[in-house]
Structure 1
Amino acid sequence: MTETAAGEIVEERLDNGLRVLVTENPTVDAVAVNLWYGVGSRDESTGRTGLAHLFEHLMFQGSQNVAAGEHMALLESFGADLNATTSFDRTNYFQTVPTRAFELALWLEADRMGGLPDALDQKNLDSQRDVVRNERRERMDNQPYGDAFERMQALLFPVGHGYHHMPIGSMEDLAAASLDDVRAFFHQHYAPANAVLTIAGNVRTREALDKAALYFDAVDAGDRWHRGQTADLPALEPLDQQIRADVSSRVPADALWCGWRIPADGTEDFDAAVIALRILGGGASSRLVERLTRRSRLAQSINAFPNDLTGGTAVAMLVVAAQQDASVAEIETILDAELERFATEGPNEAEFAAALAQAEREWLESTATLAGLADEVSRAACLFGTADRVSEAVARIRAVTPEHVRSVTQTWLRPHQRAQLIYRKEQS
């Protein structure tokens, strides 16, 4: 049992391996039903990328007892809010429903966990491949800087590493995937033992656990596979020299994209690196905003943030959009000087306190809703093995010290350790 600011979290494991976590909140007549699977693009094999993201779409195209499109239509008829996302480390399916639709949400999730292959045919596969192709065109290929994350991952991680490619995958790989390939991927990764179900809201804990067992116990355990049975991705050292790439593109302004390898999410070094990024470029009062936008007026905007990967190595990102006709080389010079100064001196008292306060506030805001709390509980249990991380989150933030921030910056965020993309406007 785990105690959080929102109440206690009770966990039970079904006979087929599914972990079920429940936290009560009777103040709202609604329930969040949140299901995380321990499968993301890192689990794909060479030549078969994009399958994890493809299933985010296929899971809404019918299952044993549900017709294509009916999953969303049934829940939306009750006013539910639902969606799904895929990342490098996980795929999650989530809905917040009125209490009276709670059992319907459970039944629908259980039906597609156990019965999706019954509805998976060539027509569905071909249809959703086209949807993914359109998604890539809209979000990446036809958007300014839309391919930046894809380029950055490829620079930071070697070919064959689970983080080298983006979750959307290769369109060539998706086109080559057969129905048998797709079914095999589902049977391996969409197993109960590789999933976490969180229920948060207007429920009684014992009743919610019993209802989850009623609907999910019938799902075949398969071979009880879960990611914990496989070796984790290796922790990578910082780059030993800067990697640079210039991109000429139809972008509104020249921009500098920087990425560093840092320790994985779940480590104390990652927590300190996140605070360092906040101080450097995470807000209106951050160092680089002050230096590059207000004083030198070279930049339009600056954003620093982590890609919170859990498989051995995470990523720190810094994006600087240049003012029209500003010198990117001059921006680089100032950026390098500020990074070196921060690595030597560390944060001052005021900016460190502000960064910690901002991190704590954002965490509390993220868990203030049923949907947000359920998602964080599932994340903790799925990726880190225990929901205890939810109750410990604020303490982890407060445990970061100025010296740790300086040390992490000195070890992981030096100018020569970054991968760098420079987007330059195409000349008309």
Structure 2
Amino acid sequence: MKKWFWAVGIAAVLVACADKPVQITLPKGVVLLETSKQTGSQVGIPFRKYQLANGLTVILHEDHSDPLVTVDVTYHVGSARELKGRSGFAHLFEHMMFQGSEHVADELHFKTVTEAGGTLNGTTNTDRTNYFETVPSNQLEKMLWLESDRMGFFLPALTKQKFEVQRETVKNERAQRIDNQPYGQMGEKFNQAFYPEGHPYSWPVIGWPDDLNRADLDDVKQFFQRWYSPNNATLTIGGDFNEAQTLDWVNKYFGEIPRGPEVEAPKKALVKLDKTQYLSMEDRVYLPLLRIAFPTVYARHSDEAPLDLLANILGGGKTSLLYKNLVKSGYAVQAGVNHPCQELACQFTLYAVANPDKEANLGALEKRMLDSIQEFEKRGVTQEDLDKVKVQFEASTIFGLQSVSGKVSTLAYNQTFAGEPNMIASDLQRYANVTRADVMRVFDTYIKDKPMVVMSVVPMGEKELIAKPDTFVPESTVIAADVIKGTVSRQPVQSSFDRTKMPPAGPALVLKTPVIWKQDLANGIQVMGTQSNETPTIELMIYLNGGHRLVDVNKAGLANLTASMMNESSSLRSNEDLAQALEMLGSHVSFGASDYQSYVQVSCLTSRLDETLAIVEEKLFHPGFKEADFSRVKEQLLQSLQHMQSEPSYLAKTAFNHLLFGDKNALGVNATGTLATVNDITLDDVKAFYREQYTAKNAQFVAVGNLPQTELMPRLKGFSQWSGASSALPPLGQLPELKGGTIYIVDKPDAAQSVIKIGKRALPYDATGLFFKSNLMNYPLGGAFNSRINLNLREDKGYTYGARSFFDGGVEQGYFQVTTSVRTDVTAQSLSELIKEISRYQQSGMTDKELSFMRNSISQSEALDYETPYQKASFMRLIQRYHLSEDFTLKQSEIIKTISKDSLNKLASQELALDDMIILIVGDKTKVETSVRQLGYPIKVLNL
């Protein structure tokens, strides 16, 4: 075996570092393939692309603006590389490869990254699997050690027990995200009709349950050896690092891993339909849904861009034809068109969620959708259509460059599927070159009078609502599994250094919080801001103290409904005209409301700030409050509330809040309101709440952008004319007496999982007091992936996809919650394990190792806290809302370093007494009640 990392070759290259050329000598076997620099106003990502002798592609992007790095390893393997009858392997491997490798012990991957102050995850789609970490920059070598070990040394640590546990975890993920969600199975059933039998997109990424059940350890070993090799991978590193040192590390840890089998790019052939196919599905939903799709091209085909533009015209927001013909007219609660593209195929997809109070029959909805397509043919394409989409694409591209992780994922994606990391400029040009004739051409080629797939999803027992009788019947997923032909084996790697030794962290980082400025407008509104020069963008948040908490409980939902009306017409322009103006700017303006505040979120390119702020002022100071808008928005909210009754997570949140805070105050009722309260809200109520909430004395601004204070403040002068007094919160209503130790069950028949919540009322928010310290105390119990409850229920027993616990605090009240979703058949066992873990922790507290882990993890994670404009804005809002000193994080750091284990364990004893907590289960009562009763707790059935 050649040891590329020890020998140094004679190849040298000039690289740019801090605008100064620096000569570095490349390690032997490492070849520079490409250098990309951005100059002037050019939009792109500077990088250098290398290749190791074993075929691993390495992309390096230096960004020294924050002391962090993102490491991404993308393998060109997804579910499309699987065999029929062997689905789900790629996604299963996403899980398996977090379970340790030859030199990295079980659970050490998550523990190492988390303790280093980082975040990590992995994702799988049809065409690729990626693993990524963002960590403080002094932890880079450690990340390369971890990633290389699972690339080259995974199989020796793979055991049958690990395989079985992760297979159960994947089943739980499927149950939680697909089987237990409204419309959850729609996509996989739809794709069976859309793609030819045997097409690699015809089965779900997560796999068919029968395929997962049939899989064995030898199958997955073969799959790993076939696809997870350096010559089928791209390693992308972005952030604050030294390039020469990083290349040496990369070659040291990855260079001795041998090449795997050669991998050919998958063949691309356009999907064709011989005839229109209809299929349907009954589901536990309230709102019928219709989905229509036409096969088109594949990613980066020359027709992709004009098809995207066509989708935008037909259903891309409030200026689209589908919005006008279905949503505004009241026939649909939601409607839209999109054109998602994958490596091998794209779908031109139209959907509409019916408003059953006006038209529940999906056949009538189908006609309106097809009529909209015909209307487009007559309407044609305008120059405004072209300009709008091009501006939006440019803006979304620039906003995608706000984080190192965003840039790294873009580079990795482009390299994997196009062999060219930086395609931003060429992609922008692709869209800029689209003509009106192009759009009409692709309409004629792929949409007009072409076969399609039409799927109806209707409530259980209401088959009469489907668009047309089924013409497509999916084949059974229980099939004879194909045998994996041939064997692939790799030679064991004899490493020339001791891989069991985890690399140490680099020198301690110097962390810097954002430099904050404050200034008041002429009317006294406080503006808090910071300058961020990484992208030419502005993020502006306008917060108004009050929100849902201002509202009488009998009018719950009023703050949310008023915000929705602020997103509609002004008194000067229609909703569509305002939406068109924002789309032509590539800007985003959104009103919303939460428990303690209403808010306005503004995102725009700096060059379009003045025009965007003019629209904000128009919406804010001249709301239309038109009766037609109100009737439509209220009806949509009522239908959405009906729909949410089928969502287990919504039912659990609603019931839990009700139990903790009762029905006498706003905290016990969701900010969206209830069917009864929203039904009673009038337009006069909205107008009155607007006068009370949207006042200058309630308002505070937070701004992040590339303009200095001296340039930004004059641009905000229009808000200096705002007036109005502050609003006092009404007294908090009576809180209920908690019946600790009681189990409450909300029945959801045929639920695939049970949602479990355990908790109690707890402390309001504070930055350095008992609330802050309680979250430190909770961290080993349920605050991290490798916490006690998650390791027990997920990693040890395979009962759940995840379990966590946390303290959440507001201005007046807070709560403690343990939450998880588990398989229905292990509901009682899961609850028993949670009770044991909470009781054990409350009685004995954390260990010395857990204390050390908590200190390292939380203190080092601060390096990641202030990277993006959104993160900077959130940090400033904490200071503003809770009147904190700007150095409060220094005080938090000191507490983390000095608080004793005894102090934290005393808090655990005080705050985690199970006798003070209620227990909630949302699941199938007929399947869980008997076993749960055996735990010995009193049980009450809760009717929402």
When the two structures are superposed, what TM-score results if normalisation uses the length of structure 2?
0.44
| 2:264 equivalent to 1:227 | yes
Partner of 2:375: 341
Equivalent residues of 1:53, 1:86 under 8 A apart: yes
Residue type at the aligned position of 1:308: C
| 2:421 equivalent to 1:387 | yes
* Cα deviation 1:340-373 (Å, max 9, x = unaligned): 2324543222233222222222222223211111
Partner of 1:293: 327
Aligned match of 1:129 in 153, 158, 167? Answer: 167
Aligned match of 1:328 in 341, 359, 362? Answer: 362
Aligned match of 1:319 in 340, 348, 351? Answer: 351
Within 5 Å, give how 1:356-371 maps onto structure 2: 356-371=390-405
Equivalent residues of 1:158, 1:164 under 8 A apart: yes
Of stretches 176-185 and 406-415 in structure 1, the one that deviates more from structure 2 is 406-415
Equivalent residues of 1:342, 1:409 under 8 A apart: no
Residue type at the aligned position of 1:78: A
* Cα deviation 1:258-298 (Å, max 9, x = unaligned): 1221110011211221121122112232221122111x210
Of stretches 136-145 and 384-393 in structure 1, the one that deviates more from structure 2 is 384-393
Equivalent residues of 1:152, 1:259 under 8 A apart: no
2-structure distance, mates of 1:271, 1:394: 10
| 2:350 equivalent to 1:307 | no
* Cα deviation 1:71-97 (Å, max 9, x = unaligned): 111111122121111100111111111
Q: Tell me the CA shift for residue 385 of structure 1.
A: 1.5
Give the CA RMSD over aligned residues.
1.7
* Cα deviation 1:232-275 (Å, max 9, x = unaligned): 142223x2432111222211201111122111001121122112
Percent identity at matched positions?
31
Q: Tell me the CA shift for residue 61 of structure 1.
A: 0.7
Of stretches 4-13 and 18-27 in structure 1, the one that deviates more from structure 2 is 4-13
| 2:122 equivalent to 1:84 | yes
| 2:299 equivalent to 1:262 | no
Residue type at the aligned position of 1:181: D
* Cα deviation 1:21-52 (Å, max 9, x = unaligned): 01111111111111110001110012211100
Partner of 1:27: 65
* Cα deviation 1:52-111 (Å, max 9, x = unaligned): 000010010111111222111111112212111110011111111110111111111101
Aligned match of 1:405 in 436, 439, 449? Answer: 439
1-structure distance, mates of 2:426, 2:311: 21
Equivalent residues of 2:291, 2:349 under 8 A apart: yes
Higher helix proportion: 1
Q: Unpaired runs of 5+ in structure 2?
A: 1-34, 463-944
1-structure distance, mates of 2:430, 2:246: 30
The verdict on how the C-alpha distance between 1:7 and 1:222 changes in structure 2, with shifts beyond 3 A counting, is closer
Equivalent residues of 1:81, 1:96 under 8 A apart: yes
1-structure distance, mates of 2:427, 2:137: 29
* Cα deviation 1:206-236 (Å, max 9, x = unaligned): 333332112111212233x2233xx514222
Partner of 2:155: 117
Aligned match of 2:112 in 65, 74, 77? Answer: 74
* Cα deviation 1:139-197 (Å, max 9, x = unaligned): 11111110111012111111111111111111111111121110010001001000011
Residue type at the aligned position of 1:159: E
Q: Tell me the CA shift for residue 7 of structure 1.
A: 4.2
Query: Once superposed, which parts of structure 1, at least 4 consecutive aligned residues long, lie more than 4 Å away?
Result: none
Equivalent residues of 1:10, 1:205 under 8 A apart: no
Aligned match of 1:236 in 271, 279, 282? Answer: 271
2-structure distance, mates of 1:63, 1:386: 31
Partner of 2:309: 275
Partner of 1:211: 249
2-structure distance, mates of 1:421, 1:165: 17
Equivalent residues of 1:191, 1:226 under 8 A apart: no
1-structure distance, mates of 2:142, 2:258: 20
Of stretches 53-62 and 208-217 in structure 1, the one that deviates more from structure 2 is 208-217
The verdict on how the C-alpha distance between 1:414 and 1:205 changes in structure 2, with shifts beyond 3 A counting, is farther
Equivalent residues of 2:61, 2:238 under 8 A apart: yes
2-structure distance, mates of 1:359, 1:346: 21
2-structure distance, mates of 1:136, 1:305: 25
SS at structure 2 position matched to 1:68? coil
Aligned match of 1:12 in 47, 50, 65? Answer: 50
SS at structure 1 position matched to 2:183? coil
2-structure distance, mates of 1:92, 1:147: 25
| 2:78 equivalent to 1:40 | yes
Equivalent residues of 1:33, 1:199 under 8 A apart: yes
Residue type at the aligned position of 1:321: V
Aligned match of 2:411 in 356, 374, 377? Answer: 377
Residue type at the aligned position of 2:180: N
The verdict on how the C-alpha distance between 1:205 and 1:279 changes in structure 2, with shifts beyond 3 A counting, is farther
Aligned match of 2:132 in 70, 80, 94? Answer: 94
Equivalent residues of 1:253, 1:323 under 8 A apart: yes
* Cα deviation 1:280-337 (Å, max 9, x = unaligned): 112232221122111x2101011322332112x2222222111123132222112112
1-structure distance, mates of 2:446, 2:233: 33
When the two structures are superposed, what TM-score results if normalisation uses the length of structure 1?
0.94
Q: Tell me the CA shift for residue 427 of structure 1.
A: 4.3
The verdict on how the C-alpha distance between 1:7 and 1:309 changes in structure 2, with shifts beyond 3 A counting, is closer
Equivalent residues of 1:240, 1:416 under 8 A apart: no
Partner of 1:56: 94
Residue type at the aligned position of 1:300: V
Residues paired across the two proteins, number: 422
Equivalent residues of 2:334, 2:353 under 8 A apart: yes
1-structure distance, mates of 2:430, 2:243: 28
2-structure distance, mates of 1:221, 1:54: 23
Residue type at the aligned position of 2:244: R
2-structure distance, mates of 1:275, 1:188: 39
Q: Which has the larger radius of gyration?
A: 2
Equivalent residues of 1:336, 1:415 under 8 A apart: no
2-structure distance, mates of 1:392, 1:43: 28
Q: Unpaired runs of 5+ in structure 1?
A: none
1-structure distance, mates of 2:415, 2:363: 45
Of stretches 389-398 and 368-377 in structure 1, the one that deviates more from structure 2 is 389-398
2-structure distance, mates of 1:210, 1:395: 37
2-structure distance, mates of 1:306, 1:101: 40
| 2:231 equivalent to 1:193 | yes
1-structure distance, mates of 2:300, 2:417: 9
Residue type at the aligned position of 1:337: D
Equivalent residues of 2:45, 2:422 under 8 A apart: no
1-structure distance, mates of 2:411, 2:147: 18
1-structure distance, mates of 2:264, 2:36: 23
Partner of 2:802: none
Equivalent residues of 1:198, 1:377 under 8 A apart: yes
| 2:385 equivalent to 1:351 | yes
